[in-house]
Amino acid sequence: MKIRNKITLWITGAGLLAALLFSIVISYELTEQPFELLDKELDSQAHTILAGLSPQNGSLTAPSDTSMLLSLGKLYWFKVFDHKQNCIFASNMTQFVDIPLKGNDKRYNIHTTVPLEATSLEQDESNKVTFRVRVATILFEGENYLVQIARPIEKLWEEILELVIAIGIGLVFFTLALLLFGYFVAGKILQPISAINSLAREISEKTLDQRIPLGRNKDELYALSSSLNQMFDRLQFSFKKQKEFIANASHELKTPIALQRLFFDEAVQRNDLPESFRQKLVAQSGVTLRMNQLVKNLLDLSALERNETLDSKLTDLTELARSVFKEFNEIIQSAGIRLLLDMEDAIRLPVDTEKMRRVLINLIDNAIKYNIETNGEIRFSLRRKDNSIIMELSNTGKTIPEDALKQLFSQFYRVEKSRSTALGGSGLGLTIVKRIVELHQGTIEIGNDAAPVNRIVVRMMFPRRFSLFEPILQMPLASVDRSLL
């Protein structure tokens, strides 16, 4: 569950709990207060009823004029008992409703059935009526009398139920409002963290010089941003030292490898060597040659990663491509590969000519080495399309696995390790190509065409300051094995 949802639930739960407790207190007060007032009213009417009776021979009896008691009997159900529990007087309502005494209970509610045809007490369809009962012992004329008095509260009871229902509905809407409010507040709380997360994602190996801005308030977010910036400082330092080590190590290896190559070349020329030993020297010379190529690629890659500038000048890509293919013409013919060129004339763009030549060399060399053994084919096209320039290079070859496509630009990655080693691949060629493309503000994509043709797609985007339009250079290459380059 996301933190925002957790915060929303916590805010909603806390608010709902507070609202529930508040509602319970309010409901209790709103329901108890009417009953307290009603009990006071019943106490007062009990004294009035006793005052309406006539004392005779030490006891109370019904007076000759009972109009006052009868009028009270229309509103109240009541009975008056003497100290011997004899009923002295009862209202007319007692004829239809019997309300029993409940031991020591002095006030209580009772639900009973009263036929509508007997008397109208605003009962519901089931003829149920709720009475509020008050039992009071009153000292009058020197004697204790028990007065049991009740009043129908059907309307009050309905209003109390409506109040409870209204509070329940209010809690439901309050919960929904809390959810929305909590979600909004959680978003506001997490907004700085989201901003920090977004900035942290933008900082990569190529942009380690960027830092997260520190806020004015030195709170927890300030401490988090500061810690992340310190981590980026350490990472930048480590990457810098790593690149320096690779560059220095590669540079230091150039001289001894060159001396080894010179030694093997001279040794192979001697005529007094056994043939078996000569073959070993030739094999070791090949290993040294691959080492030399690897060191050269490492130096080139290190230079590309440390140098962010380009020596850009207006270059005719058509002529550049023709010159590179001319250099590979003899190799293409000896391999029996059919070359198909489709290039528009005079396609000029501001690029670093030597680096772009390196891109073409690496990709064409890869297309040759990873072509099929017989009746192979390389297709190359260079054309304008809308506000872009599309360059495509494809060859016939084996399909590249989908899981390998995303890793072809990783350093030293090889699809077919055994074949790549045999062909002399170091696994850095496409890494160098990608870096050159990125320096030209481009992107590179690799994908498979219909079998047996595969594709590498290089898409390069040039800023408008270089041209009147924003061209895109797209170069697909088939059957590329990252280990070759």
| Of residues 386, 347, 344, 369, the one with CA closest to residue 426 | 369
Residue type for position 91: S
Q: With a cut of 70, which residues of the chain have pLDDT below it?
A: 57-58, 115-126, 204-206, 242-254, 293, 296-309, 387, 407, 409-427, 447, 449-485
Output the pLDDT for position 412.
57
Output the pLDDT for position 431.
78
Output the pLDDT for position 114.
75
Output the pLDDT for position 473.
45
Residues in contact with 220: Cβ distance below 8 Å, sequence separation at least 6, in sequence order:
none
- What distance lies between CA 329 and its chain's CA centroid? 54
Provide the 3-class DSSP secondary structure of residue 171. Answer: helix
Cβ atoms of residues 379 and 337 within 8 Å? no
Q: What are phi and psi of 428, to 5 degrees?
A: -120, -10
Residue with tokens 């207006």: 314
Fold type of domain 311-417+426-461: Heat Shock Protein 90 (3.30.565)
Residue with tokens 């000569």: 278
Provide the 3-class DSSP secondary structure of residue 371. Answer: coil
Residue type for position 40: K
Give the gyration radius of the chain's Cα atoms: 49
- Name the residue ranges covered by the structural domains of the chain: 3-163, 220-302, 311-417+426-461
Output the pLDDT for position 270.
79
Cβ atoms of residues 457 and 447 within 8 Å? yes
Fold type of domain 220-302: Helix Hairpins (1.10.287)
Max Cα-Cα span within the chain: 161
Q: Could you give the CA distance from residue 445 to residue 208 in angstroms, rounded to a whole number?
A: 24
What is residue 207's DSSP assignment? Answer: G
Output the pLDDT for position 26.
82
| Of residues 73, 34, 256, the one with CA closest to residue 155 | 34
Output the pLDDT for position 126.
66
Fold type of domain 3-163: Beta-Lactamase (3.30.450)
The pTM of this model reads 0.46
**Which two structure tokens, joined as six digits, stand for 255?**
């001289």
